[in-house]
Amino acid sequence: MGMDRNTIIGFVLLAILFFGYFYYNSRGKEAYEKQQQHINDSLARLKPPIDTSKSTAKITDTTSTKHNSAATNIQQDTSGKEQFFTLENKVLKITFTNKGGQPQKIELKDFKTFDGKPLILQDGNFNNISYAINTGNNQTAQTSDLLFTSAGPQKSLDGKDMLNFSVQSKGGQKIEHQYILGPNDYMMAFNIIMQGADKLITQNTLNLTWQSKAKKQEKDIEWETQQSHIDYVENGEYDFEHLSTGKTDEKKLDKPVDWVALKQQFFASSIVAKDKFENADLKWEVPADTSLHVIARLTANMQLKVPQKQDVLIPLQIFYGPGDYKILKSYGNQMYNMVPLGSGIFAFVKYITRGFIMPVFNFLSSKIASFGLIIALLTIVIRLLISPLTYQSYLSGAKMKLLKPEIDSLKTKYGDDKQAFGMEQMKLFRSAGVNPLGGCIPALLQIPIFFGLYYFFNSSIALRGQSFLWAKDLSTYDSIYHIPFNIPFYGDHVSLFTITAAITSMLISIYGMSNMQDNSNPVMKYLPYIYPVFMIGFFNRMPAALTWYYTVSNAITLLIQFVIQKYIIDHEKILAKLHENKKKPVAQNKWQEKIAAMQESNKKLQQMQQKKKAPQKK
C-alpha cells in the first residue's frame, strides 16, 4: 500500500483551495471595495450627531428640547427630563428611554463577553430609531428629539410584557410607540400607532432611520470583524455585505425589504417590517482604530408606505439576540441565513452542514457535556462515513506502487521519448485495470466536508465560552503563550492546537512519502511538507474547535493508514489481480478511445516530422 502521486496532488490541491479561500476572505474584500464608486460626502452623511445624553443611566435635563422651535406644537412629557423604563424576560433586559420612546440599552442575560462581563449589545450611544413628523407651519421634528410620556410596563391581553410611549400635538394628532416582549423571546414587537396620520406625515410615507452599533464581544476584534457583515432580505432574496476594518461603504436597496441586520460574529441586531420597507439606503463604517472596541456602525434609512387613512398601525419588530441557527429559523423570515455556513464558490456546503454536521453535533451535545469530546466523536463519525473514499485512495496507491517496476522498465525503454512513454503507461494502466486518478479524486471529494466544518466551527455559538484542555474558549484561538510583539503571518500568540494539527499533518506527509510509488521527483518529494508549515500561520488565529478537529482527524488518518497497510490490503492478492486483469481483453469507453486515437495520431505526426528531418541518402 502506498500514497501515489495523484493522491499527493489531490491533497496539495486541497491545501491550495484552503489557502486561496482564506487569503480571499482576509484580503479579497479590499479589492472588491476598491471597485465601488462612492462620492466624497458619503462619510459626512454616514455619521449623524451622537446622542450623548442617552449614554448615562440617570435622569438628565433635556431643556434644549423645549427650545426647539420645530416642536413647539408638540405636547411633550411635562417633566422635561429623560426617564428610563425596563422590560425584562428570561433572556433579555431592555432599558427604554422616553426620549424618542425607544430602546436605549440591551443586555443578553444568557451570555457574557469574552472576559466575563455582562454582554451589552447596545449601550445608547449611536443606536437610534427615529422618523420625521409634521409639526405645522412647514416644520418637521425628529421623534428621537421628543420626550414621550409613558405609564411604565404593563401586561398585554395575552399576558406578555408591554410598554407604551405616547406624544401628542396641540392639534390633536397622537403618536404611540408600543413594545411587546414575550417570556423567552429575542424578537420584540414594535408598533407605531398614529392618530391623524394624514397630518403627521407627508405623501403617506414614513421615512424611518435605524442606527445600530456592534461592539466588540470576542477576544480577537480583527477576526470578529472578518466574521461580521450587513445582512438583509430584498425582494425575497437574502444577501449580505462584507465589513473591512477602516472602510466606509453603502448599499442601496431599491426593491421591497423584509429586514435589515447588523450581524457580528455571534450576535445580531435587526429591524423587521411585517409589511416590508419600500426601499432602504444602508451606510456603514468600520473604525480603523480597534481600541474603540467598535466592530461597525450602521445607518439604515428606510421608507414605509402608510395606508391613506387617519388612524394607522405600522407593525415592526426588533431582534436583539444570538446568531443561533435554530432560534433564527423559528421566525420564518430567512434570518437563519445570517449564520454563515457557506458562501461564494462554497455556498453549497451549507446544505451539508445543515443536513448532516449540525444534526449530528446537536445529537451528541444533548448526550455529552464536554464539547471537546463531542468534536472528537463528530470527527470519528465523519471519518467512518468517508472511509470508503479513504480506502479507495490507499488501494489506488497500493496498485500504483506494485506497477512501479514495470513503469520504471518503460522509462528505461523509451528514455526521453515522453510521448511514447505516456502512451505505453496508459496502456499498462488500462490493461491492469488501474485508474491513475484513483488517489486524487477521493481527496477532492472530501473538500465540501472540510469547508462545511470550517464554516460550522467559525459560526457555532454553542462552542462560545466552552473550555477543553488548555483552551478556555473553543470558539476562538487557544493560546499557551502571549508573544509581546506581532510576528508577520503568525500573530502575537502560540496556539498549541495549531501546532498539534501541523505536527500530525507533517507525520502524515512523512508516512505517505515513505510509501509513495514514485518519490524520485524532488518537487513531489518536498511539496507535501509545505502544507503543515503554512498551516501554522493560517490556522494560528482560527477557532480552537477547528484546530482540535484537524488534530483528531490527522491522528485518525495515521491510524487508518497503518491498519489498512498492515491488516486490510493484501499486496499479493492485488498483484495477482493485476496480472489477471492484463490477460483480459481491455474494454475502452468512448473517452478512452478518443484519448488513444489522439495519442496514436500524435505519434504518427512525430514520426513523420522525424523522417523529414532525417538526412536524405544520395
Indicate the residue type of 375: I
Rounded to two decimals, what is the model's pTM? Answer: 0.78
At residue 446, the pLDDT reads 77
Determine contact, residues 242/32, Cβ cutoff 8 Å.
Answer: yes
| Residue 611 is assigned to a structural domain of this protein | no
Q: What percentage of residues in the chain have a pLDDT greater than 70?
A: 73
Range picked from 95-99, 403-407, 442-446 for highest mean pLDDT = 95-99
pLDDT band at 580 (very low <50, low <70, confident <90, very high): low
Helices (H), 564-589: 571-583
Angle, nearest 10°, between helix axes 530-539 and 544-563? 160
Range in 156-160, 294-298, 366-370 with the lowest mean pLDDT: 156-160
Higher pLDDT, 291 or 14: 291
Higher pLDDT, 84 or 514: 84
Gyration radius of the chain's alpha carbons: 32
Q: Looking at the predicted structure, is the pLDDT value of residue 180 above 50?
A: yes
Backbone angles phi, psi at 172, to 5 degrees: 100, -5
pLDDT band at 425 (very low <50, low <70, confident <90, very high): confident
- Do 558 and 444 lie in one domain? The reply is yes
Average pLDDT over residues 89-107: 96
pLDDT band at 40 (very low <50, low <70, confident <90, very high): very low
Q: Looking at the predicted structure, is the pLDDT value of residue 263 above 50?
A: yes
- Do 287 and 385 lie in one domain? The reply is no
Higher pLDDT, 183 or 597: 183
| Residue 44 is assigned to a structural domain of this protein | yes
Kindly report the CA angle at 460 between 380 and 27, in degrees rounded to 5? 105
Average pLDDT over residues 30-40: 42
Determine contact, residues 434/399, Cβ cutoff 8 Å.
Answer: yes
Bridge partner residues of 281 (DSSP): 252, 301
Q: Looking at the predicted structure, is the pLDDT value of residue 311 above 80?
A: yes
At residue 160, the pLDDT reads 92
Note the maximum CA span of the chain.
121
Q: Looking at the predicted structure, is the pLDDT value of residue 606 above 90?
A: no
DSSP 471: B
| Residue that finishes a domain, picked among 339, 361, 378 | 339
Q: Looking at the predicted structure, is the pLDDT value of residue 584 above 50?
A: yes
Report the run of H or E that residue 131 belongs to, with start and end. strand 128-136
Cα–Cα distance measured from residue 271 to residue 273, given in angstroms and rounded to the nearest whole number: 7
| Residue 591 is assigned to a structural domain of this protein | no
At residue 213, the pLDDT reads 96
| Residue 46 is assigned to a structural domain of this protein | yes
Q: Looking at the predicted structure, is the pLDDT value of residue 414 above 80?
A: no
At residue 61, the pLDDT reads 36
Cα dihedral 591, 596, 601, 605 sign: positive
At residue 43, the pLDDT reads 37
Range in 226-230, 263-267, 397-401, 446-450 with the lowest mean pLDDT: 397-401
The number of angstroms, rounded, from the C-alpha of 613 to the middle of its chain's C-alpha atoms is 61
**331's grid cell:** 421566525
pLDDT band at 312 (very low <50, low <70, confident <90, very high): very high
Average pLDDT over residues 64-82: 68
* CATH classification at residue 260: 2.70.98.90
Cα–Cα distance measured from residue 545 to residue 464, given in angstroms and rounded to the nearest whole number: 10
- Do 19 and 49 lie in one domain? The reply is no
- Do 323 and 408 lie in one domain? The reply is no
| Residue 614 is assigned to a structural domain of this protein | no
Q: How many domains does the chain have?
A: 2
pLDDT band at 439 (very low <50, low <70, confident <90, very high): low
Q: Looking at the predicted structure, is the pLDDT value of residue 77 above 90?
A: no
Average pLDDT over residues 474-492: 91
Determine contact, residues 187/301, Cβ cutoff 8 Å.
Answer: no
Q: 321: closest CA among 552, 489, 13, 110?
A: 110
| Residue 589 is assigned to a structural domain of this protein | no
| Residue that finishes a domain, picked among 292, 308, 339 | 339
- Do 527 and 395 lie in one domain? The reply is yes
Q: Looking at the predicted structure, is the pLDDT value of residue 48 above 50?
A: no
- Do 261 and 398 lie in one domain? The reply is no
- Do 541 and 510 lie in one domain? The reply is yes
At residue 51, the pLDDT reads 41
| Residue 574 is assigned to a structural domain of this protein | yes
| Residue 605 is assigned to a structural domain of this protein | no
Average pLDDT over residues 142-146: 94
Determine how many CB atoms are found less than 10 A away from the CB of residue 416.
Answer: 7
pLDDT band at 70 (very low <50, low <70, confident <90, very high): low
The number of angstroms, rounded, from the C-alpha of 60 to the middle of its chain's C-alpha atoms is 42
At residue 245, the pLDDT reads 86
How does the average pLDDT of the chain come out, rounded?
81
Q: Looking at the predicted structure, is the pLDDT value of residue 47 above 70?
A: no
At residue 189, the pLDDT reads 96
- Do 362 and 335 lie in one domain? The reply is no
Q: Looking at the predicted structure, is the pLDDT value of residue 607 above 90?
A: no
Average pLDDT over residues 3-11: 50
Q: Looking at the predicted structure, is the pLDDT value of residue 503 above 70?
A: yes
- Do 528 and 391 lie in one domain? The reply is yes
pLDDT tens column, 386-405? 877 777 777 766 666 777 77
Q: Look up the domain containing 472 and give its range.
A: 5-25+350-580
Q: What percentage of residues in the chain have a pLDDT greater than 90?
A: 51
- Do 144 and 228 lie in one domain? The reply is yes
Spatial CB neighbours of 315, under 8 Å, sequence gap ≥ 6: 189, 191, 273, 274, 275
At residue 56, the pLDDT reads 31
Average pLDDT over residues 364-383: 94
- Do 256 and 323 lie in one domain? The reply is yes
Contacts 24+ apart (CB under 8 A), 186-189: 186/91, 186/92, 186/319, 186/320, 186/321, 186/322, 186/327, 187/272, 187/317, 187/318, 187/319, 187/321, 187/331, 188/87, 188/92, 188/94, 188/317, 188/318, 188/319, 188/320, 189/315, 189/316, 189/317
| Residue that finishes a domain, picked among 339, 362, 397 | 339
At residue 316, the pLDDT reads 97
Q: Looking at the predicted structure, is the pLDDT value of residue 140 above 50?
A: yes
Residue 181, SS3? strand
Higher pLDDT, 443 or 380: 380
- Return the C-alpha torsion angle 368, 373, 374, 379, nearest 10: -150
- Do 324 and 424 lie in one domain? The reply is no
At residue 558, the pLDDT reads 85
At residue 537, the pLDDT reads 86
Spatial CB neighbours of 458, under 8 Å, sequence gap ≥ 6: 227, 265, 340, 542, 543, 546
